[in-house]
Structure 1
């Protein structure tokens, strides 16, 4: 489209006094080619698209009588995984009107599906429960139908991570694939981190990582060398798996939470990650500030005795601070009760990871601005705890799930955008 612009228009297209340029001014600047590139840079594109939040809706995708524990987009956004307490894992084709791509009935499940993970090539799914065995399932439709026919034409293989006596107490809380798809890292309730080699079909590392249950694990970046872990001992730790066999000690730890860590998400740059906690906060960390050991004796850390599974949040927990908090930023407003509620960075492609989002016990989804810590949006619909939610990798679409059995999709309302 051919346009013309005066010098005055060009001036308006630039930022003044450090203020953020609005979208209309940026579009005008692009039209007059003020950057001399003829298009937005990647940073400028992220700046524009990051202002488009998934705040419209929601549209109900699924209604079931079973609790929903897992809801996750694949890396390319084409598939969506939902894990229900009734032993069902549903894989939706998000690019094809949310039709069901695969339906898996979990084997040897104890209580619920605690986590799922997709292989990088999206050919396989692994899922965990409160047992020492995780299961590997292929996602192809070789049978011609959507239901997984285990051990007939589909793969549904048990991978034993531990020789721990299966008396119903052992459980895997968190699973992640390595970038090459050859390994799985897991966090368990025996305070350990496990690394399973799929090619060798064996557990290669079992590290006694924390003094309490390991609720969450994540790879720091695409190299898969560094692993983050979070535990009910209040600590986040960083592990260099190249040193596992040498000393089984962490590369460092980060203190600041006053409750168990329920979820960790890596920024993917090998330096920063966020953690959700039973202390009702999310914290942003930079591992360059980590210590080789806690700088404070545990006696100095406020210990507030309560059970988040069945008790209300003690008022003191909302105001007390950790004396040695090493985090960069703290985000509050959501509630972490009864279940291991998760948190994430917003997508890199569409938002430049400008936001952090999380489910909440009160049935809402909270979206925080990473820099300011302010709440950018609160999505309200569910009447039950939202344990998990997922933002599409490049579309302004967010899907949330709750214990009420509802899976819903939030889209963008153009009327809410401040041009």
Structure 2
């Protein structure tokens, strides 16, 4: 290799191995440059596609959330309409129950009146028979005395006072007989009218019984399914509430001494039906009490988004369900209970705990403001706090938990069970 300048010439000898090494080095440098440029170009193109895909996925996710929110709003409206219908049905049942009791009292009064009329009719018949016997007796006496007059020589000495007395008695007896016949006829007509009225009342009772039984079937069936869908045995719950609330909101069954027997001890089919229906109404009332004591109510009644469910999340157990809505959205108690905790609790932020019957506890976390105090008794649907972003939270939302015996369970189990009922 010759390197020439103005006045100098440099001469280098390069062996074949050296030349090969330099050539390989140059080749590797060019190849690496080409590879680096290709990788950078591909990364740039891939990043652009990834960002576009991420934007598309975000848009699809937002559309899906909007669709789910609209569907949830529709379901909530349907639930509210169903609840309104259910309350109207309960009011109608109560009205029918009052009418039924009034009709039963009226029927008892008519039955008593019918027995009195029958008793009077029997007495009138006995008196009529007695009057007829007296009349026949007087007739026999008159005939006997007439025979004696024809056979005796004292025909001209009959006592005029005795004849007048006999005539008077006969006249009074005939008048009494006619009066008794008139009273008996009137009594028989009264009996027919009362029997006709009782028949109309029985027909009306039958119609009322049918309407009440249909309403009870429509009302109790969904409630039973709701409890079972939540994993709760409704029979056990109703029996527990019946023992604890035996005097709460019951119905007066004093006019029924047993199944199908009235207070007089007489079997009556209507009384049996009334007894069965009123017992079913008591069961419906017990269901109403049970619903208020189990957390079937949704804690956020306004428009909201379901953001996180129950279960493992980011390597940790998420013991509740998250609902997102605007800051300050009212948070509602999901069942009747007593507030056991109000304050700040580490990751929960502002937290409310409510103790319910059957060992149930509900928790409402990340609140912005409290609306209740510790020890306060709250009812289902009561405003207890406002949604916020306190504690370990990445945005405004409600963290809602249900615990039974201290163990966390999925709140959606209760919310979904009540979805088609309320």
Question: Considering only CA atoms, is the larger Rg found in Structure 1 or Structure 2?
Answer: 2
Would you tell me which structure has more strand in proportion to its own residues? 1
Q: What TM bracket, shorter-length normalisation?
A: under 0.3
TM-score computed with the length of structure 1 as normaliser:
0.22
Structure with more helix by fraction: 2
| TM-score normalised to structure 2 length | 0.22
